[in-house]
Structure 1
Amino acid sequence: MRKLCLIALISSYIFANELQNAIDSANSGDIIELGSGIYSGNITINKPITIDGKDRSAIIKGNGTGDVIKINSSGVRLLNLTIENSGNSHNTIDSAISCDGASRVEIINNTIQNSLFGVNFKQCNDSKIVNNFITSKPVDLGLRGDGIRLWYSHDNIVENNHLHKSRDMVVWYSSNNQIRKNYGEYGRYSLHFMYAGKNLVEDNIFKYNSVGIFFMFSSGTTARRNQILSSTGAFGVGIGMKDTSDFIIENNTLAYNARGLYLDQSPFQPGTTNIYENNKILYNTIGVQFHATLHKSIFNHNNFIGNMEVAINDTPGSKIDINDWSQNYFDDYAGFDRDKDGIGDIGYKNFTYLDSLWQYYPNLRLFYGSAIMSILNFISKLAPFSEPQLLITDPNPKMEPYHE
């Protein structure tokens, strides 16, 4: 193993091909150390080498077209670099770093900026994306690229990255990945899964995004100890589930979102269940929104505190009563605990009355919280003029919130 040291000129590109020449001349296993300066990007790496910028003061700058760095070899390591100025094409997924068909790649401790997409893994396995700061082009949200993109990529670790003003982090057709301790803010989907099974999502913090985490057409994943806060917009969602099966959602904090949980035909496969346990669902407009419920979910030991509505069902005919609720805490529970066992003496029941109008007819939400709606809803609870819908029955509600 050799160490090759390069120093670029900050003020110019006199040695435009210097870095690519060093890569082409390197042997497998060599380390190329870059001194402070600007290096021409649009480079291709076809052998297992390390490029180390030491303190991120080495800038690899693309020419504004295509990928800044293309990795076509296993065993490549990019460390401590600043990478910027990719192309602008969504069709070709112009990225700061593109990895295609490799394994054991490490992208560690880099700054990625002014690049449409950040790190794009295509069929890259057993690799690491760790401790990077990633932001997209300074354009409107819908025109940005994804900060991290896993496509048919398995057994990877995505850890401790900070995504700021990118579009999404996506995991598509990818399994057995560990996505943990990341921080995502001011994006669209902090984390978006499609056809991705048996992944682990833990200890992430996502805030000020349109959606925290959305799982679609996936199964067998665990999401735990995540904090999803202040998902913005009328459809802001903490955790969304679309056609998912056999999920475990536990110990998460979902707070200040338009919807804490949004469950769309989940579970999807007959005979499967999704489990929601020990979650804190706090101060959302809606705690849980059910859409097209057909199969059973299990809700145990969750805290519902400060939500404007604990739950709603927006689909007439959904099988809401199929769900299993046990030992959850509801701050609107009005029962007693005479034997002091911590469990309410009577079960908790959550009905919808006049509110079902705005659940089924979203335009009426304009009047939600108005004096007339409050009066009509109060009257309907005293003397219902339509059949109320029972959404939740918890026979053993807790008297005090769950604490870890």
Structure 2
Amino acid sequence: MLRTLLALMLLSFGCLGSQNPLQARIDALSEGEVLTLSAAEYVGPLVIDKAIAIVGEPGTIIDAGGKGSAVTIKAAGVSLQGLEIRNWGGDLYEHDSGVRLLPGADDVRLLQLELSGPGFGIHGEQLKRPEVEYCHISGDDRRYLLDRGDGIFLKYVEAPELHHNQIASVRDGIYLENVDASRVSHNQFSRQQYGIHYMYTRNDSAWNNSAKWLQGGYALMSSKGITLEHNQVSAAIDFGILLNVTQQSEVHHNRVATIHNPKGDPAIASEGKGLFIYGAADNRISHNHFSDSDTGISVALGGEGNSLWRNNIENNQTQVRYVGSKSQEWSLLGQGNYWSSYQGWDLDGDGIGDTPYLPNDALDRLFWLYPEARWLMDSPVVLLLRWLQRQLALAEDIGVRDSFPLLQPIDITPKQEMKTNSQQSDEETHYAQY
């Protein structure tokens, strides 16, 4: 009997001794309390199941030991601030994350976190109103691109606020699936697949984000009601902005430059595209700048039915690529786009070309359909045929046409302030008047 009691006591002491000291401090807190951590390295993983705040002094590190998620949040109203979280697991099927938000973890605030690990930076599903601000998130660039986790992954989430974050070396910077009313601004993305990736989302807005050195900038896929404005992307490979089966969205005042695929082949549409419209309709695209790319704007697979006006399309190897058989008018209320390749005139001095601009003619479409004949494109006979076609308006009534080409570029001024809801509503009303 005595021997049994001693064994139970030793087992009890062993369990206490093996308990994570920081987890014990968290478990001892009451709802609403704040735990301030002094600079030190703490051992994870940690689980938070009550509404508390954890604030780290500079130099506070949480190390997950290379497996699982570093911090798992099960409760609403939790706040983390000023922590360096690192070395969590890389199992994407298990959703290994720096911070993992479980269903129902509403109103979580993640501020000024330094996150570094191979899995997801932040992963959340089935929750409301998370805030992620002023965080640095970096993945493992030794992994193949698609084997990395996303910087921020949110699925079935309402009204997330994601601002002023720096995200690098991940799969997608911010991945949103079945999300409503997200607001994403002032983030920086680099060395990843896409900066922001929307899938089946509704009524989102993104502004003043910057993306560089990645596969694609902003991918809007199977979504509705997105406002993408005042964003920048450069040095991407596949596209700057992608509209894929996306509807009723506003794309304006964005700057897209130097989208180039060194291995791309226009014959199979794999070249770099400033704007790629693929099966998308009823979108309004204005006041954007598309320049210095393989193709400025590419339209494919029923991508007609969008309004494009007052954009700058400058110095692209191919300004527009459209192989469809319908007529596309790219102007609105007497305002077209600025084309650096337009060679018409303006005799009445109203700033609008007197002859329409046809970025693609029947010869372009012929060479796209039969790429083996591309070597003829710059021959003297073809150049003469192009000139005659444009001067005498011999083109068929198909393809892209800008009836009111602008003679001067549009001024696209970057917008730096954080918008309030009322400002956003005012701007949406303004653009609805065009």
Give me the TM-score of the superposition, normalised by structure 2. Answer: 0.81
CA 1:358–1:70 in 2, change beyond 3 Å: closer, same or farther? farther
Residues in 2 aligned to 1:80 and 1:118: alpha-carbon distance in whole angstroms: 15
Residues in 1 aligned to 2:186 and 2:136: alpha-carbon distance in whole angstroms: 13
Following TM superposition, by how much is the alpha carbon of 1:125 offset from its aligned partner in structure 2, in angstroms?
A: 1.2
Establish whether residue 374 from structure 1 lines up as the match of residue 378 from structure 2. yes
Following TM superposition, by how much is the alpha carbon of 1:338 offset from its aligned partner in structure 2, in angstroms?
A: 2.1
More divergent stretch after superposition (286-295 vs 78-87): 286-295
> Of 127, 131, 146, which aligns to 2:130?
127
> Of 143, 146, 154, which aligns to 2:147?
143
Establish whether residue 229 from structure 1 lines up as the match of residue 234 from structure 2. yes
Q: Judge conservation of contact 2:89–2:117 (CA < 8 Å) in 1.
A: no
Following TM superposition, by how much is the alpha carbon of 1:140 offset from its aligned partner in structure 2, in angstroms?
A: 2.1
In the alignment, what sits opposite 1:401?
409
SS of residue in 1 equivalent to 2:95: coil
SS of residue in 2 equivalent to 1:284: coil
SS of residue in 1 equivalent to 2:26: helix
Deviations along 1:358-387, one digit per CA (max 9) or x if unpaired, are 6446x76xx97x7x5422753552578x98
CA RMSD of aligned residues (A): 2.2
Bigger helix share? 2
Following TM superposition, by how much is the alpha carbon of 1:281 offset from its aligned partner in structure 2, in angstroms?
A: 0.8
Establish whether residue 208 from structure 1 lines up as the match of residue 213 from structure 2. yes
Establish whether residue 302 from structure 1 lines up as the match of residue 311 from structure 2. yes
Following TM superposition, by how much is the alpha carbon of 1:293 offset from its aligned partner in structure 2, in angstroms?
A: 2.1
In the alignment, what sits opposite 1:11?
none
> Of 193, 197, 203, which aligns to 1:188?
193
| 1:323-334 correspondence to structure 2 within 5 Å | 324=331, 326-334=335-343
In the alignment, what sits opposite 1:197?
202
Establish whether residue 46 from structure 1 lines up as the match of residue 49 from structure 2. yes
CA 1:217–1:402 in 2, change beyond 3 Å: closer, same or farther? same
Residues in 1 aligned to 2:122 and 2:369: alpha-carbon distance in whole angstroms: 41
> Of 92, 106, 124, which aligns to 1:90?
92
Q: Judge conservation of contact 1:19–1:40 (CA < 8 Å) in 2.
A: yes
AA in 2 matched with 1:111: E
Q: Judge conservation of contact 2:327–2:401 (CA < 8 Å) in 1.
A: no
> Of 316, 319, 328, which aligns to 1:321?
328
Q: Judge conservation of contact 2:367–2:377 (CA < 8 Å) in 1.
A: no
Q: Judge conservation of contact 2:209–2:232 (CA < 8 Å) in 1.
A: yes
AA in 2 matched with 1:349: L
Following TM superposition, by how much is the alpha carbon of 1:292 offset from its aligned partner in structure 2, in angstroms?
A: 1.3
Residues in 2 aligned to 1:91 and 1:358: alpha-carbon distance in whole angstroms: 45
Give aligned-pair identity as a percent: 25
> Of 299, 302, 317, which aligns to 1:290?
299
Give me the TM-score of the superposition, normalised by structure 1. Answer: 0.87
| 1:3-402 correspondence to structure 2 within 5 Å | 17-55=20-58, 57-100=59-102, 101-137=104-140, 138-168=142-172, 169-232=174-237, 236-257=238-259, 258-267=272-281, 273-293=282-302, 295-314=304-323, 316-317=324-325, 319-321=326-328, 324=331, 326-356=335-365, 359-360=368-369, 373-375=377-379, 377-378=382-383, 380-381=385-386, 390-402=398-410
CA 1:278–1:322 in 2, change beyond 3 Å: closer, same or farther? closer
* Structure 1 stretches lacking a partner, 5+ long: 1-13, 268-272
CA 1:355–1:47 in 2, change beyond 3 Å: closer, same or farther? same
Residues in 1 aligned to 2:97 and 2:367: alpha-carbon distance in whole angstroms: 43
Q: Judge conservation of contact 1:352–1:389 (CA < 8 Å) in 2.
A: no
Residues in 1 aligned to 2:327 and 2:243: alpha-carbon distance in whole angstroms: 16
Residues in 1 aligned to 2:273 and 2:339: alpha-carbon distance in whole angstroms: 16
Residues in 2 aligned to 1:193 and 1:181: alpha-carbon distance in whole angstroms: 17
Q: Judge conservation of contact 1:312–1:391 (CA < 8 Å) in 2.
A: no
* Structure 2 stretches lacking a partner, 5+ long: 1-16, 260-271, 413-434
Following TM superposition, by how much is the alpha carbon of 1:388 offset from its aligned partner in structure 2, in angstroms?
A: 6.9
Q: Judge conservation of contact 1:50–1:78 (CA < 8 Å) in 2.
A: yes
SS of residue in 2 equivalent to 1:231: strand
SS of residue in 1 equivalent to 2:358: strand
Deviations along 1:294-332, one digit per CA (max 9) or x if unpaired, are 641111110111111111124x44x35265553211111
Following TM superposition, by how much is the alpha carbon of 1:401 offset from its aligned partner in structure 2, in angstroms?
A: 0.4
Following TM superposition, by how much is the alpha carbon of 1:390 offset from its aligned partner in structure 2, in angstroms?
A: 4.5
Residues in 2 aligned to 1:200 and 1:358: alpha-carbon distance in whole angstroms: 39
AA in 2 matched with 1:321: Q
Residues in 1 aligned to 2:32 and 2:182: alpha-carbon distance in whole angstroms: 26
In the alignment, what sits opposite 1:9?
none
Of the two, which has the highest radius of gyration? 2
Q: Judge conservation of contact 1:295–1:322 (CA < 8 Å) in 2.
A: no
SS of residue in 2 equivalent to 1:158: strand
CA 1:402–1:112 in 2, change beyond 3 Å: closer, same or farther? same
Following TM superposition, by how much is the alpha carbon of 1:65 offset from its aligned partner in structure 2, in angstroms?
A: 1.7
Residues in 2 aligned to 1:219 and 1:380: alpha-carbon distance in whole angstroms: 42
CA 1:77–1:228 in 2, change beyond 3 Å: closer, same or farther? same
Residues in 2 aligned to 1:177 and 1:360: alpha-carbon distance in whole angstroms: 41
SS of residue in 2 equivalent to 1:350: coil
Residues in 2 aligned to 1:51 and 1:320: alpha-carbon distance in whole angstroms: 59
Following TM superposition, by how much is the alpha carbon of 1:353 offset from its aligned partner in structure 2, in angstroms?
A: 4.5
SS of residue in 2 equivalent to 1:193: strand
